[in-house]
């Protein structure tokens, strides 16, 4: 198996591909997108997007002049700043522990000024609609089964048309529910940014970072309880947790590439998302045998020995 490139900056929020770009800039001292694209075997547009993110992280700076050229910021200072930033984020989440305990106590008593506890599937559904209707700038969500009433969200399409930004992190299990993947693809076509992250253990929706809706249990067969969280340290902690999930999740809305068909790109996305063979075949309307044959063909085209390598190579090429 070929040696994989180091991915040492993932823990501070740097995408693995962006780290490769950063290392390439370090080797060259100064470089332009075309040079880096040639070094890395990818498109210049993908390198430009990575360089923009690296600038936001404070890892590279753009040199003066009409041509795009970049230089690396001294790594010890730049990476230390990222570590301090991520440490502050984690401290914020840790500091919310007291408020989470207060949330638990509030659930027993019926609520506080910052936390209102609502009961029943219908109340949860009404608050989810209200949260989106009141949003003016952005709705961020963590989405996973089970679903209290329905898997579809018709309110989102309307909100997107009036300029509300949606960013959603889905659990792989959500993609296995009938119709969910098709709904996501339609919403992505309307402007939603979607990512997938294994291991999600909660559902969450936040509007404009000022109002959150959080089911207190995933057992929707029993009494449904949810917390409506208003501005507080708890709300800040929930938003910080969502940001950590977003930073480590895999995009579901990869850009089309003329070298790979839409079906194969979707197949790769589902593989990277961690779905099982049967679930992938069901979502694509294929037999399991056909799906595995397509995977074998993709492995050959990508020069990969297994699915993991295929996902890595596809991500490097910008296919997913």
Do domains 10-86 and 96-251 share one topology? The answer is no
- Output the pLDDT for position 315: 60
Virtual CA dihedral for 220, 209, 272, 154, nearest 10 degrees?
60
Q: Which 3 state secondary structure label does DSSP give 242?
A: helix
User: Which of the given ranges, 150-164, 229-243, 304-318, has the highest pLDDT on average?
Assistant: 229-243
- Output the pLDDT for position 33: 92
Report the pLDDT averaged over residues 31-37: 91
CA-nearest of 44, 68, 40 to 55 is 68
- Output the pLDDT for position 257: 47
Pick the CATH number of 262-316 from 1.10.3430.10, 1.10.10.10, 3.30.1330.10, 2.60.40.1510: 1.10.10.10
Report pLDDT digits (tens) over 72-105.
887 887 778 778 777 777 776 666 666 666 656 6
Report the pLDDT averaged over residues 190-213: 91
What percent of the chain is predicted at pLDDT more than 90? 26
Q: Judge whether 207 and 135 are in contact, CB under 8 Å.
A: yes
- Output the pLDDT for position 2: 42
- Output the pLDDT for position 312: 59
Q: Which of 27-31, 63-67, 138-142 has the lowest mean pLDDT?
A: 63-67
Q: Which of 84-98, 201-215, 269-283 has the lowest mean pLDDT?
A: 84-98
- Output the pLDDT for position 292: 84
What percent of the chain is predicted at pLDDT more than 70? 80
Neighbours of 109 (CB within 10 A): 8
What band does 242 get if pLDDT is binned at 50, 70 and 90?
A: very high
Pick 228 or 11 by higher pLDDT: 228
Report the pLDDT averaged over residues 146-159: 80
Domain limits, the chain: 10-86, 96-251, 262-316
pLDDT of 1 higher than 50: no
Return d(Cα 150, Cα 138) in angstroms, integer: 22
- Would you report the helix, strand and coil content of the chain in percent, each value rounded to 5? 55, 15, 30
Torsion sign over Cα 64, 68, 69, 70: positive
- What token pair was written down for 217? 């249990």
What band does 143 get if pLDDT is binned at 50, 70 and 90?
A: very high
Note the Cα 131 to chain centre separation in Å. Answer: 21
Q: Which of 125-134, 212-221, 273-282 has the lowest mean pLDDT?
A: 273-282
What band does 256 get if pLDDT is binned at 50, 70 and 90?
A: very low
Q: What's the CATH number for 96-251?
A: 3.30.870.10
User: Which of the given ranges, 140-154, 233-247, 305-319, has the highest pLDDT on average?
Assistant: 233-247
Average of per-residue pLDDT values in the chain? 81
Pick 167 or 319 by higher pLDDT: 167
Q: Which fold has domain 10-86?
A: Arc Repressor Mutant, subunit A (1.10.10)
């Amino acid at each position: 198996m070929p040696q994989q490139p180091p991915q040492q900056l993932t823990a501070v929020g740097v995408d693995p591909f962006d780290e490769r770009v950063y290392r390439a800039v370090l080797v060259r001292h100064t470089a332009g997108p075309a040079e880096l694209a040639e070094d890395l075997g990818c498109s210049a547009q993908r390198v430009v997007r990575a360089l923009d993110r690296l600038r936001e992280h404070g890892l590279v700076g753009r040199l003066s002049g009409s041509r795009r050229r970049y230089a690396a910021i001294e790594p010890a200072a730049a990476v230390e700043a990222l570590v301090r930033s991520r440490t502050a984020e984690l401290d914020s989440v840790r500091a919310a522990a007291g408020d989470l305990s207060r949330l638990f106590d509030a659930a027993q008593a019926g609520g506080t000024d910052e936390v209102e506890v609502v009961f029943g599937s219908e109340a949860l559904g009404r608050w989810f609609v209200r949260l989106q209707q009141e949003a003016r700038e952005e709705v961020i969500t963590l989405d996973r089964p089970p679903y209290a009433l329905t898997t579809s969200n018709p309110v989102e399409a309307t909100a997107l048309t009036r300029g509300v930004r949606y960013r959603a992190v889905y659990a792989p299990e959500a993609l296995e529910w009938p119709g969910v993947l098709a709904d996501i693809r339609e919403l992505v076509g309307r402007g939603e940014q979607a990512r997938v992250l294994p291991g999600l253990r909660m559902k969450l929706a936040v509007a404009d970072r000022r109002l959150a809706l959080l089911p207190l249990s995933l057992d929707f067969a029993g009494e449904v309880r949810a917390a409506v969280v208003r501005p507080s340290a708890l709300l800040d902690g929930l938003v910080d947790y969502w940001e950590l999930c977003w930073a480590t999740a895999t995009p579901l809305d990869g850009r089309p590439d003329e070298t790979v068909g839409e079906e194969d790109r979707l197949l790769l996305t589902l593989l990277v998302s961690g779905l099982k063979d049967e679930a992938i075949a069901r979502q694509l309307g294929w037999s399991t045998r056909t799906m595995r044959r397509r995977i074998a063909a993709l492995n050959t085209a990508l020069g990969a020995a297994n699915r993991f390598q295929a996902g890595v190579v596809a991500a490097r090429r910008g296919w997913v």
